[in-house]
Chains A and B, each alone.
Chain A
Amino acid sequence: MKIMVAIKRVVDYAVKIRVKSDRTGVETNNVKMSMNPFCEIALEEALRIKESGLASEVVAVSMGPAQCVDTLRTGLAMGADRGVHVEAAGQLYPLTVAKILKSLVEVEKPGLIILGKQAIDDDCNQTGQMVAGLLSWPQGTFASKVVLDKEKQLAMVEREVDGGLETLELDLPAVITTDLRLNQPRYATLPNIMKAKSKPIKKYTPQELNVDVKSDLEVIQVTEPPKRKAGVILSSVEELIDKLKNEARVI
């Protein structure tokens, strides 16, 4: 069984981000970019499934500008067998990504797709669900535990939901999106980095996959959240009541 993992190149989680002066987005020039942490977890899970003998191959997919290849190389260094880069300029929204993934599924025919639950730059939390919808595949999102049953072609997924943990049984092929507690991703070791250099990365364009990248969404403005106003230290209860009555008007 082949597993396809989608990985996204995002601004590194630990970077202090700034909004661009023209307010069209977040500053990404000269800023450290890395693999989305949830995608890392997705890839780690795919690798563990392969290492336990339940899958034959892990294919990492990334979409975007040329630098996505760096992220794919990291994925290959972690242990993915092959990479696929869909080169596209400009912003790709979840629906477009889902459509591209659907086209790739028709080419690669994986038995399982694993994605991160959301990307840390847009926090959309939509791609996994949309892919499952487009393919009419079952989905197990926010997975905190995944157990595969090869003979019965099932995936048992424990999900983190508001009320606690929910366990689902999905028929394969299926879509799983990963949550934080699923696993701890491995480091890229030097021997694997060396091996990754010779692993193939196939390139596509959205046109080749018959996907139109024009989106119905347009980001109009990005602004910083309003600065927290300084607190005021009051000198007496009377002053507090006065302020609550006359300034905040809550009593």
Chain B
Amino acid sequence: MIKLMDKWRITNHLLKHSSKLLFDRRLSANSHNSVFRSALECSESLVKRGFGNASTIRYRCFGSEATKFERNAAFSTLNSEDVSYFKELLGEKSVIQDEDVLLAANEDWMRKYRGSSKLLLQPRTTNEVSQILKYCNSRLLAVVPQGGNTGLVGGSVPVFDEVIINMGSMNNLITFDKGSGVLVCEAGCILENLVSFVDDHGFIMPLDLGAKGSCQIGGNVSTNAGGLRLVRYGSLHGNILGLEAVLANGDVIDMLGTLRKDNTGYDLKHLFIGSEGSLGIVTKVSIHTPPKLSSVNLAFLACKDYFSCQVLTYLEGVRNPFSSSMHNFYVLIETTGSEESYDREKLEAFLLSSMEGGLISDGVIAQDINQASSFWRIREGIAEALMKAGAVYKYDLSLPVEKMYDLVEKMRQRLGETAKVIGYGHLGDGNLHLNISAPRYDDMVISVA
């Protein structure tokens, strides 16, 4: 356990070294500026109208519209000595130079970004991660940490020839306390495996996302993944009790507490949650899991306009505007509770009165787990479907709930016929996944937008 003075020393250390950290800022040709400008405009108009808490909206300064950038010459190039060193350190099996494997690891899930890394490492212990980073630091070799490689915005793949440090081999479940529901595991554990494990003991993971079959908990933590349960169980900042991470120079920082309440020293783990690997590689995670409630009800609802959706501030929003059915908006609501018939009655009463009040135009309640899974498949499969539909530009935005859809409409106005604008996301969290679907990737779409 790190004492107070140590924590302070490490914070200093982090801040001093962050500029030297082997870190890639991704500014791709698909610049996000136009969208953020629109988001800013929305916020602007809010401020102008003096709309409630809008005056507390801060403006962020986004990077310049750089469309090209070059490999930093300060980083070294991999040579055969490096490869031998790694082979000796990790063993032949954990050092991968196989072209096919590298091809997959160099490319992101969306198939938009491709790096040119020549080496993939699969450490099995924190010590190995530490040794790798220490060596790369001394040799000035750039690295990129990689988990399940399910990210949709190109953060998990190399930009140039960085060494890929894949955490997939560190997939041990360390401990699980059945009384408190605290799970300690290594960063490479696949989320769905964790879900099944805690399920057997009557608990659930506080986060759930469509990528659960492949995404790893270390990646979830590093990106502060939200997911489908955030509105009920809160963000990872609340659920992660501790972390173990390795800094860029190889130092291991042990913040792996398992206590619900721990106010000793500085709560450094929060810096790592959402830091996207820029401060260090997360190697172990301690997470609090809520108890599994037996009654789950799921309703799929259709609404005429966005205003009606908002009022159903339950869990999340689903929108599929270009569907051929009559409805403009779809909302998927899941409730969990301890008594099925009571919960079902409550949900039905709420939904029926909403229908009478005109908030919902139509809806369906899942009658068994299979139906529930098929509804979830629709919502979780949106990203997949968009990928199959052609080229997609994705933006993940947090907005005030009442303004969530304005951005979609504005983009629609700007793009006209050139592309379809799809908005879906998490209604309860105010999180919009703005997607622009075009037949193929086209700079013109970006310039218009």
A and B interact: yes
Query: Interface with B: A9-17, A92-100, A134-142, which one?
Result: A9-17
| B348 and A13 contacting across the interface, CB-CB below 8 Å | no
Q: In the assembled complex, which residues on chain B have CB atoms less than 8 Å from the CB atom of A15?
A: 369
Q: Which one of A31, A34, A70, A193 has the greatest number of beta carbons of chain B within 10 Å? A: A193
Chain A CB within 8 A of B251 CB: no
Query: Do A190 and B365 have beta carbons less than 8 Å apart?
Result: yes
**In the assembled complex, which residues on chain A have CB atoms less than 8 Å from the CB atom of B300?**
187
**Contacts A30-B294, A32-B340, A187-B371 known; A193 to B362 CB distance under 8 Å?**
no
- Confirm or deny: B352 has a beta carbon within 8 angstroms of a beta carbon on chain A: yes
What chain B residues lie within 8 Å of A91 (beta carbons)?
A: none
Across-interface contacts of A34 in B (CB, < 8 A): 367-369
CA distance A38 to B355 in the complex (A): 31
Residues of A contacting B371 in the complex (Cβ-Cβ under 8 angstroms)? 187
A74 within 8 A of B: yes
When each residue 175-200 of chain A gets 1 if its CB lies under 8 Å from chain B and 0 otherwise, what string results? 00000000000011111011000000
Interface residues of B in 365-400 (CB under 8 A from A): 365-371, 373
Given A30-B294, A32-B340, A70-B341: A193 in contact with B365 (beta carbons within 8 A): yes
Flag whether A35 is at the interface (Cβ < 8 A).
Answer: yes
Say which residue of B301, B348, B366, B370 sits within 8 Å of A37 (CB atoms): B370
Binary CB contact string for chain B from 315 to 356 against chain A (1 if under 8 A, 0 otherwise): 000000000000000000000000011000000100110010
Residues of A within 8 A of B366 (CB): 187
Q: Is the CB of A190 within 8 A of B370?
A: no
- CB-CB contacts below 8 Å: A45-86 with B: 67, 70, 74, 77
* Known contacts A14-B373, A37-B370, A190 near B341 by CB under 8 Å: no
* B window 285-334: CB within 8 A of A: 294-296, 299-301
CB distance from A187 to the nearest CB of B (A): 4
Which has the most chain B C-beta neighbours within 10 Å: A14, A30, A190? A190
Q: How many angstroms from the CA of A74 to the CA of B340 in the assembled complex?
A: 14
Partner of A13, one of B352, B362, B370: B370
- Closest B-chain residue to A71, C-beta based? B367
Chain A 94-128, CB-CB to B under 8 Å as 1, else 0, gives 00000000000000000000000000000000000
Q: How many Å from the CB of A170 to the closest CB on chain B?
A: 30
Considering the chains assembled together, what is the distance between the CA atoms of A37 and B360 in angstroms?
Answer: 29
Asked whether, in the complex, the Cβ of B369 is within 8 Å of the Cβ of A193, the reply is no
Query: Are B369 and A190 touching (Cβ within 8 A)?
Result: no
Q: Does B364 contact A (CB under 8 A)?
A: yes
Question: Which residues from chain B contact A70 at a C-beta distance below 8 Å?
Answer: 341
Q: Is B363 an interface residue (CB 8 A)?
A: yes
A13→B369 contact, CB < 8 A: yes
Total count of chain A residues near the partner, CB < 8 A: 21
**Are B294 and A35 neighbours in the complex by a CB distance under 8 Å?**
no
Known: A14-B373, A32-B340, A70-B341. A191 touches B367 (CB 8 A): no
**Are A32 and B369 in touch, CB under 8 angstroms?**
yes
Question: Are B352 and A190 touching (Cβ within 8 A)?
Answer: yes
A191: B residues at CB distance < 8 A: 355, 362
Contacts of B294 in A (CB 8 A): 30-32
In angstroms, Cα B368 to Cα A14, docked, is 8
Assembly CA distance A77 to B355 (angstroms): 16
| B367: contacting residue among A14, A30, A67, A188, CB under 8 A | A188
- Taking CB atoms, residues of chain A closer than 8 Å to B355 are 190-191, 194
Q: How far is the CB of A224 from chain B (nearest CB, A)?
A: 15
Chain A minimum-CB-distance residue to B367: A74
Minimum Cβ distance to chain B for residue A118 (Å) = 17
Contact check, A193 vs B348: say whether CB atoms are below 8 A apart. yes
For residue B368, which residues in chain A have a CB less than 8 angstroms away from its CB?
12-14, 32, 34-35, 37
Inter-subunit contact B364/A188 (CB<8 Å): yes
* Shortest beta-carbon distance from B296 to chain A in Å: 8
Kindly list chain B residues whose C-beta atoms are within 8 Å of the C-beta of A74: 367
Partner of A187, one of B295, B352, B360, B364: B364
Chain B residue with Cβ nearest A34:
B368
Are A190 and B362 in contact, with the CB atoms below 8 A?
Answer: yes
**Which residues of chain B are near A187, meaning CB under 8 Å?**
300, 364-367, 371
Could you tell me the distance in whole angstroms from the C-beta of B319 to the nearest C-beta in chain A? Answer: 19
Are B373 and A35 neighbours in the complex by a CB distance under 8 Å? no
Of B341, B351, B371, the most chain A CB neighbours within 10 A belong to: B371
Kindly report which residue of chain B lies nearest to residue A186, judged by CB atoms: B364
Give bound CA distance, A15 to B351, whole Å: 26
Nearest A-chain residue to B340, judged by Cβ: A32
**B363, A12: Cβ atoms under 8 Å?**
no
Among residues of B, the one whose C-beta sits closest to the C-beta of A32 is B369
CA–CA, A70 and B345, complex, Å: 11
Distance of A67 Cα from B365 Cα, bound (Å): 19
Does A189 lie within 8 Å of B367, measured CB to CB? no
Query: Among the listed B364, B365, B370, which residue makes an inter-chain contact with A14, where contact means beta carbons less than 8 Å apart?
Result: B370
CB-defined contacts of B364 to chain A, threshold 8 Å: 187-190
Give bound CA distance, A82 to B210, whole Å: 40
A74 and B364 CA atoms in complex are apart in Å by: 12
Point out the residues of chain B lying under 8 angstroms from A31, CB to CB: 294
How far does the Cβ of B444 sit from chain A's closest Cβ, in whole Å? 42
A30 to B341, CA, bound (A): 11
Chain A residues with CB under 8 Å of B340's CB are: 32
| Nearest CB on A from B198, distance (A) | 13
Check B363 against A190 for contact (C-beta < 8 Å): yes
Residues of chain A lying within 8 A (CB to CB) of residue B341: 67, 70
B295 — nearest CB in chain A belongs to which residue? A32
Beyond known contacts A32-B296, A35-B368, A190-B351: 6 more, CB 8 A cutoff: A14-B369, A15-B369, A32-B340, A187-B367, A190-B299, A190-B355
28 pairs, CB–CB < 8 Å, chain A vs chain B: A12-B368, A12-B369, A14-B368, A14-B369, A14-B370, A15-B369, A30-B294, A32-B294, A32-B368, A34-B369, A35-B367, A35-B368, A37-B370, A70-B341, A77-B367, A187-B366, A187-B367, A187-B371, A188-B367, A190-B299, A190-B352, A190-B362, A190-B363, A190-B364, A191-B355, A193-B365, A194-B352, A194-B355
Interface positions of A (Cβ within 8 A of B): 12-15, 30-32, 34-35, 37, 67, 70, 74, 77, 187-191, 193-194
Closest 3 A/B residue pairs (Cβ): A34-B368, A14-B369, A190-B363
